[in-house]
Amino acid sequence: MLQVERISDTLWEIPRDCEKGMRVPARIYATEKLIQEMDETVYEQITNVATLPGISQYALCMPDGHSGYGFPIGGVAAMDVEQGGVISPGGIGFDINCGMRLVITNLVEREVKPRIKELTNSLFKEVPAGVGSAGILKLTREEFRRVIEEGARWCVANGYGCEEDLALTEEQGCIDGADALKVSERAIDRGLNQIGTLGSGNHYLEVQVARKENVFDQELAHAFGITAPDQVVVMFHCGSRGFGHQVATDYLQIFLRVMENKYRIKILDRELACAPFNSPEGQNYFAAMKCGINMSFANRQVILHHIRKVFSTIFQRSAEDLGLRMVYDVAHNTAKLERHRVGNQERMLLVHRKGATRAFAPGMAGVPEQYKQLGQPVIIGGSMETGSYLLVGVPSGAQSFFSTAHGSGRTMSRTKARKLWRGQKLQHDLEQRGIYVRSTSWAGLAEEAGSAYKDIDEVIHAAETAGLCKRVARFSPIGNIKG
């Protein structure tokens, strides 16, 4: 059993000398309850991450951490690119830029609840979900290449949104440096028809309510657009679908070929396959990964277009009149070049966030201008049975390279969840509790049962107590679409 030392009520450390090859200590943010529930693989994986070349300060795991491919989900690692730091697809994830978007309305629960079935059914029809789902956006291969280089900017230029949407999206909806020439034809095949689709697994689209008792900071909530008791919002979670998966798969194979033979890098786990960031292979993957980031921004932008259309149809008012405006779109599953202070020096670091969310503090570059004095909004999804959160970045987040959790985090496998619950019964039980759910698969719905996830309130408590972020509001689900 690894040696785990308690640093505080919400911080635990595996010392650098605990395992051979560790370059830095490994740290886990969690309450005692969460640390006791953490699966043992998390400790092994975050310790392995601490052995990667160029890693700076700590290998980190967020409170929602659970086992993943290579890195644990919830893993954060910053690589010093001037000191031989590597880039690893296992530290980003297969669903590149899986992320969250939060949209406000000026509707309140009493106006929406009587029509929640009609609204959810219409959203279910307009926003394709499930394995292999295809969107209504039909692109040529050349058009798709432009999308993956231009991201949500392409969508807005083609009538799927407005300039304000871009201003309220991380990276303004397009990360610079994406190069479609670094992406395989197989990846393009897989992504070509998937713009505007949710996908499967833990991806969802949810109609939620911000109840008065669940607004924790009135001033911040008001600044982010949460202004009325029982206000209705829409939150959705999706990524780059099969396109991102193929990009990661392609480069994992490349890295496995060159890692030891060309760069003499030895790792403890093949799932941490990597290459020096400044190598040709590392730079090619970085440019291809950025295409995955942009594809995902475009995907969420087109989904928002469909949401606005559905609300406008159901409530017979324009999207503008309904106040359907973005709060923010935040990514997880990325690697980005960022400047952070390490000791007394500011360093250029490649920050891997896998199942972890950027949470920049007030005044930092990259925070939208209208939120510059407030801090970056952070959107954390819970399970379909519990609730979700709007948080904000804080200065003390520097300890984690301004990173925080991304969701609840699973406590059991999908296989086990399918054995314990039946999708049809779960849907019925949820409806009795005031949550109307549509899903493409009963088995898929069973996998997403609330009890298969950690307690979202405990996860947020851990993150806030540790100083990674601050609570603004909690949202309760009333309508949900699952892939």
DSSP string covering 159-201: TSS-HHHHHTBGGGG--TT--GGGS-HHHHHHHTT-TT---ST
Task: Please give the C-alpha separations between residue 318 and each of 127, 206, 207, in angstroms, as whole numbers.
Answer: 19, 20, 18
Q: Taken in order 390, 396, 399, 401, is the CA torsion positive or negative?
A: positive
388 assigned ligand-binding residue = yes
- What pLDDT sits at residue 239? 96
Angle between helices 280-315 and 241-258 (to 10 degrees): 170
Q: Taken in order 13, 15, 16, 22, is the CA torsion positive or negative?
A: negative
Q: How far apart are CA 241 and CA 136, in angstroms?
A: 15
Q: What is the mean pLDDT of each run of 10 residues along the chain (483 residues)?
A: 90 94 97 94 97 98 96 98 97 97 98 98 92 85 98 98 98 98 98 93 94 97 97 97 97 97 94 98 98 98 98 98 98 97 94 98 97 98 91 98 94 86 90 93 87 92 98 97 86
Please identify every residue annotated as catalytic: 406
**Helix, strand, or coil here: 47?**
helix
60 assigned ligand-binding residue = no
Residue 355 CB: number of other CB atoms within 10 A? 26
- Among candidate residues 273, 229, 227, the one with its CA nearest the CA of residue 251: 273
- What pLDDT sits at residue 1? 57
What digits encode the pLDDT tens for the residues 384-417? 889 999 999 999 999 999 999 999 988 888 888 8
Q: Take residue 248 and report the two structure tokens written for it.
A: 């990661």
- What pLDDT sits at residue 420? 86
Q: What is the DSSP letter of 449?
A: -
- What pLDDT sits at residue 147? 98
326 assigned ligand-binding residue = no
Q: How far apart are CA 170 and CA 330, in angstroms?
A: 6
- What pLDDT sits at residue 242? 96
What CATH homologous superfamily does 5-411+453-482 map to? tRNA-splicing ligase RtcB (3.90.1860.10)
409 assigned ligand-binding residue = yes
Q: How far apart are CA 334 and CA 157, in angstroms?
A: 25
384 assigned ligand-binding residue = yes
Greatest pairwise CA separation for the chain in angstroms:
64
Q: Take residue 3 and report the two structure tokens written for it.
A: 């040696």
- What pLDDT sits at residue 134? 80
- What pLDDT sits at residue 363? 98
Please give the angle made by the CA atoms of 287, 93 and 155, to the nearest 5 degrees: 55
